[in-house]
Amino acid sequence: MWAASCLASCCAACACDACRTVVSGISRRSARIAYCGLFALSLVVSWILREVAAPLMEKLPWINHFHKTPDREWFETDAVLRVSLGNFLFFTILAFSMVGVKNQRDPRDAVHHGGWMMKIICWFILVILMFFVPNEIISFYESASKFGAGLFLLVQVVLLLDFVHGWNDKWVGYDEQFWYVALLVVSLVCYLATFGFSGLLFHLFTPSGQDCGLNTFFIVMTLTLVLLFAIVALHPAVGGSILPASVISLYCMYLCYSGLASEPRDYECNGLHKHSKAISTGTLTLGLLTTVLSVVYSAVRAGSSTTLLSPPSSPRAGAGKPLLPMDKADEHEEKEKNKPVSYSYAFFHIIFSLASMYSAMLLTGWSTSVGESGKLVDVGWPSVWVRIITGWATAGLYIWSLVAPILFPEREF
């Protein structure tokens, strides 16, 4: 017994030392990666608790205070929402505390990049505390998460449009034949993939002998938008490029597939229903991985914008100039502190707050379960409409980005 307790103490000490070593190794350059890792950890915790926490939560009187105990799926959804709420509060508190940080002299700059042991402890405490809050708060958060998740998807669309326009401008700016050929080749590949994708959608989601008018409408509508993109982009008055149109076309077709694949597995027009059990784990893993990657991209790219929320500003010339001359080491340190921050800390954390809501909706099928859908990620009719409407919103924003400079020539876009 004594030996076992000593061994346990040694293991705990080694674990603490390992954590301290990892935390102390997080530098300014790797801080954003560390935040992404913490978010990924929250997804893993949500996934695990969704699978194993239901029996325990049924025994908690402040959660299961109903006259009739809900089914297992209710407790699985509740566990995910509580972890998500703790994650949301953690990043929201950081976001509000970082509003207005403009240079590295601000003490909050050190808070953003350091104190990782305390941050992890606070995150852990917040997640634990969420399992003691009333069900009414979780129900309200569930409703709010649907709007927050939609806003996260909208941010992703805006970032995608910014990326494809920037990509096109960069290649055109080289003004060399090689880059024009590369632009044409990539555009053709995207269009071939788009139309090939549409054929696959017709094969999988409009099976013969079934009345699948809704699925046919979704696919045909997306193809119509693809054609509209090319017409508007190549119109002489617009003078657009085919590259952004082809990339957005492929993305919209992917969103159409994502929406159709989210249809309940027992729906006769869903060609994936025969493989529901085989792909459940794969869908779950892919959904979580896609979420992490999209959050990393959104956080890094949106956070790096200098035009959102609290944009960096260059320090005024002569501001904070010392009365006495400093040696070179002190002067270098002073210059480092006066450097403007490279991205908006507040907006960076807001992206993670919205992503917490979005991931909760993915893991709970937008808080619905149809048939076997409760064991899958992002399955159910709400998920279908969210994906389809996101595709239409993407189309609308892209066309607006083309015609807005013509409609409002005096404004800068």
What's the per-residue H, E or C state across 328-394?
A: HHHHHHHHHHCCECCCCHHHHHHHHHHHHHHHHHHHCCCCCCCCCHHHCCCCCHHHHHHHHHHHHHH
- DSSP code of 224? H
Q: For position 312, what pLDDT does the model report?
A: 41
The ranges assigned to domains in the chain are 15-132+341-363, 158-278+371-412
Q: Check whether 15 has a pLDDT greater than 50.
A: no
Residue 103, strand partner residues: 340
279, pLDDT greater than 50: no
Residue 49 — pLDDT band, cuts 50, 70, 90?
A: confident
pLDDT at 16: 47
pLDDT of residue 29: 67
- If you average pLDDT over residues 13-26, what whole number do you get? 46
CA distance linking residue 352 with residue 36, whole number of Å: 8
pLDDT band, very low/low/confident/very high, at 270 (cuts 50, 70, 90): confident
pLDDT of residue 36: 85
Query: Which residue shows structure tokens 């017709």?
Result: 202
% of the chain residues with pLDDT over 70: 74
Where is pLDDT greater, at 201 or 239? 201
What integer pLDDT is reported at residue 336 of this predicted model? 54
Give per-residue pLDDT as tens, 164-212: 888 888 888 888 889 999 999 999 999 999 999 999 999 888 887 778 8
Contact status, residue 203 vs residue 271, Cβ threshold 8 Å? yes
Question: What's the average model confidence in pLDDT over 143-164?
Answer: 84
State the pLDDT at residue 320: 43
Q: Which two tokens stand for residue 286?
A: 């892919």
> Stretch 253-265: mean pLDDT, rounded?
85
pLDDT at 125: 95
pLDDT tens-digit map of 60-81: 888 877 777 777 788 888 888 9
Eight-state DSSP code of residue 78:
H
How confident is the model over 243-248, as a mean pLDDT?
92
297-340 pLDDT tens trace: 766 665 554 444 444 443 433 344 444 454 555 555 555 556 78
Return d(Cα 39, Cα 36) in angstroms, integer.
Answer: 5
Q: What pLDDT digit, counting tens, does each position of 79-113 carry?
A: 889 999 999 999 999 999 988 888 888 888 888 88
